[in-house]
Structure 1
Amino acid sequence: MSHPTTADGAAPATMRAVVVTHPGDLDVLEIKDVPVPVRKPGWVRIEVKAFGVNESEVTTRKGESDAEVTYPRIPGIEGVGVVDEADEDSGLHPGQQVATMMGGMGRTYDGAYAQYVTVPAGQVIPFGTSLPWDVVGALPEMFQTAYGSLTRGLELKAGQTLLIRGGTSTVGLSAATMAKEIGATVISTTRHADRAEELRAIGVDHPVVDDGHLAEKIRALVPQGVDAALELVGCTVLPDTFGCVRVHGTVCFTGALAGGWSLPDFTPFMIPGGVRLTSYGGQATDLPSDVFARQLQALADGRLTAPVAKVYHGLEQVRDAQADVESATIPGKHVVVLND
């Protein structure tokens, strides 16, 4: 792939991007030459270096997202790269390393499956690291979702006990390390006993094998119930998760790894008396730059490992990346690197 800038360092008139003109199978992910996006006041243009590939982008490609998604669309809800152009008073400067995610990106406006992307300045997180782009590209949405769930969703505090259901997912692993940094006791689940050591290695206090019926196991560890539960598996197990939480404890519904986004016969009375239920979707502003910096430093120091499943090189491999995400056969984050 050719370098996207011209000889004088300016952005070219056109760029390569993955464009979805209509919903469909993998073959609707077409690489096209399109105009480089023009930056609006209050927005930032970023030269994309890497991006994570996510389930929501598979959903967008298949036409299963909500009504806010329009086509044609360049997908991509997150990306990392360097500032190409920004307002002088934005505090951002050309060449600065930045991350961005969410906020309609790749859904209501074009996203990161491209050589350049423009986003509102408010959802840009500046950082500085010597970590390679394939590592940094795995982090923004994963860290934002984990941190936002723990803080905005659960208001987790030092000394509390947290259950992470879906603990070996990328968000689950990130949430465990962040919760330990907050000072919580962490119980985290896996469906496979041989992955318990993986959870212990990142600081989880009590790895638990999840067979779909957790309440009795959790109550054996914490008789009164946990203070907080992060639900990443989905509505298929949500009623059981309620049974793990103490009176006045909170369940935060953030993900549905098992595919259950709704309860067909929901009634409020299935929530135990005094247990609170909330949810988290989140925005880039929910991940402060200092928190992102601490996680980057933990990675650089070897105290944290980025759960990268596979690295893909160039837009030509986006179809392969989405296929692997959809098959769910390789655990961890799938990352596409550009301009390498």
Structure 2
Amino acid sequence: MLIFFQIRAADSAHISLITNGSSNHVPEETTMKAYVIEQPGGPQVLQLRDIPSLEPTSDEVQIHVRAFGLNRAETYLRAGKMGEITAPRVPGIEAVGEVIHDPAGVFRPGQRVATAMGGMQFIRNGSYAEQVTVLRSNVVSLDGTSLSWEELAALPQAYLTVWGALDKSLAIQAGQTLLVRGATTSVGLAAITYAKARGLTVIATTRTAANSQRLREMGADEVIIDNGDIAQRVRDITHHGVDAALEIIGTATLRDTIKTLRPFGAVSVIGLLGGPPVLEQFHLMQDLPAGIRLNFFPSGLFGTPALPLQGTPLPWLAKEVAAGSIPSIRSQTFAFDEVPKAHRLMESDRALGKLVVLL
């Protein structure tokens, strides 16, 4: 699970985007197919409907969705864990496709692009649809790549999160050692492949020994079977501790992860698979070793002035995956009418990689 809590305040002010999310929307006869959630529940509440297609305003871009990745955030929205569902919602926080219309002319019609976050599924319709209208600041050009749509769909949310956490929060450098705690998640696999491409040594954790081979195939140099207490084993491997750690499990293992770091090392929390984002009785002097830096990276920063997407590594990553230099993290592709089936697999924790939907 990635962290989306900073967006929930906007959720309470959610407007009925399906019918009037823009003051300049296309007449109702212009429709598209999209998945709609009208009440919380299991995968069966995902209903494929015809809904209006919304024209972009001056700061938006309309995209023909070719494929999209699936994320835990969408299962939490569907289950009612991200605020009350008071109006129909279209889930989805990322997509790849072709530009239909950009009023500003920054992106040309037919241009290959990716998009992620920017309020999708929270304050605007999400990407489980044939078309999506998104903030221009959350669109990245994918010109020059030959990678297939389904492989491109595995990149945006996972790799943008990894880029933000590793480069912006942890300032990784070639030659360092990185611990990825919770590495069998799609973002964990992305962290392994990205860090290896950047010249780091990677220690990855999994709770299940059978997953070790998958992690090594992605590039992990060492794999630790995680019983919740791995700090000493990490130190046995590194002697002085790791330079940086990516915490995907969350507060359940954070204290132990902190103990794996060398002096002046850093940990970035990006996931909460282990429970709520609350550290009970956290003692700054006893639980946080001297000089250790602790932060949490929210993907809601994408496209904001704090984290503009110019310079994102997505185009480079697409070329590297196409060339076979970086392994694909995609584990399975579903058809558009199989989204409920894909949600069931995602919730089973058996995906071992990124699930994508191809339209």
Taking structure 2 as the reference length, the TM-score comes to: 0.84
Tell me the secondary structure at the aligned position of residue 189 of structure 1: strand
Residues 150 and 357 of structure 2 are in contact (CA less than 8 Å); yes or no, is this contact kept in structure 1? yes
Residues 174 and 198 of structure 2 are in contact (CA less than 8 Å); yes or no, is this contact kept in structure 1? yes
Residue number in structure 1 paired with 2:56: 39
Residue number in structure 1 paired with 2:120: 105
Residues 126 and 289 of structure 1 are in contact (CA less than 8 Å); yes or no, is this contact kept in structure 2? no
Residue number in structure 1 paired with 2:182: 166
199-208 or 147-156: bigger deviation: 199-208
In structure 1, runs of 5+ residues without a counterpart are 1-10
Quickly say closer, same or farther: Cα 1:288–1:191, change in 2 above 3 A. Answer: farther
Give the 5 Å matches for 1:244-283.
244-269=260-285, 270-282=287-299, 283=301
Determine if the alignment matches structure 1 residue 334 to structure 2 residue 355. Answer: yes
How far apart are 1:229 and its partner, in Å? 0.6
1:300 to 310, 322, 325: 322
Determine if the alignment matches structure 1 residue 179 to structure 2 residue 185. Answer: no
Residues 58 and 104 of structure 2 are in contact (CA less than 8 Å); yes or no, is this contact kept in structure 1? no
The Cα offsets for residues 109-164 of structure 1, whole Å up to 9 and x where unpaired, read as 11101111111111101103222211111211011111111012211122322111
1:217 to 227, 230, 233: 233
Quickly say closer, same or farther: Cα 1:93–1:299, change in 2 above 3 A. Answer: same
Residues 162 and 227 of structure 1 are in contact (CA less than 8 Å); yes or no, is this contact kept in structure 2? yes
Determine if the alignment matches structure 1 residue 323 to structure 2 residue 339. Answer: no
Quickly say closer, same or farther: Cα 1:196–1:88, change in 2 above 3 A. Answer: same
187-196 or 239-248: bigger deviation: 187-196
Tell me the secondary structure at the aligned position of residue 237 of structure 1: helix
Residues 247 and 275 of structure 1 are in contact (CA less than 8 Å); yes or no, is this contact kept in structure 2? yes
Give, in whole Å, the separation in 1 of the partners of 2:66 and 2:219: 31
Tell me the secondary structure at the aligned position of residue 247 of structure 1: strand
Q: Which amino acid aligns with 1:302?
A: G
Residue number in structure 2 paired with 1:6: none
Count residues with an aligned counterpart: 325
The Cα offsets for residues 274-328 of structure 1, whole Å up to 9 and x where unpaired, read as 21110111244455556112211121111222222321112x2111111211121
Q: Which amino acid aligns with 2:125?
A: D
How far apart are 1:104 and its partner, in Å? 1.4
Quickly say closer, same or farther: Cα 1:322–1:277, change in 2 above 3 A. Answer: same
2:258 to 239, 242, 249: 242
The Cα offsets for residues 208-237 of structure 1, whole Å up to 9 and x where unpaired, read as 222221111111122222111100122111
Tell me the secondary structure at the aligned position of residue 318 of structure 1: helix
Taking structure 1 as the reference length, the TM-score comes to: 0.89
Residues 116 and 156 of structure 2 are in contact (CA less than 8 Å); yes or no, is this contact kept in structure 1? yes
How far apart are 1:260 and its partner, in Å? 4.8
Tell me the secondary structure at the aligned position of residue 251 of structure 2: coil
**Identical positions, percent:** 38
1:77 to 86, 93, 98: 93
How far apart are 1:335 and its partner, in Å? 1.0
Residue number in structure 1 paired with 2:103: 87
Give, in whole Å, the separation in 1 of the partners of 2:199 and 2:353: 25
Quickly say closer, same or farther: Cα 1:37–1:325, change in 2 above 3 A. Answer: same
Give, in whole Å, the separation in 1 of the partners of 2:29 and 2:102: 16
Give, in whole Å, the separation in 2 of the partners of 1:33 and 1:177: 39
In structure 2, runs of 5+ residues without a counterpart are 1-27
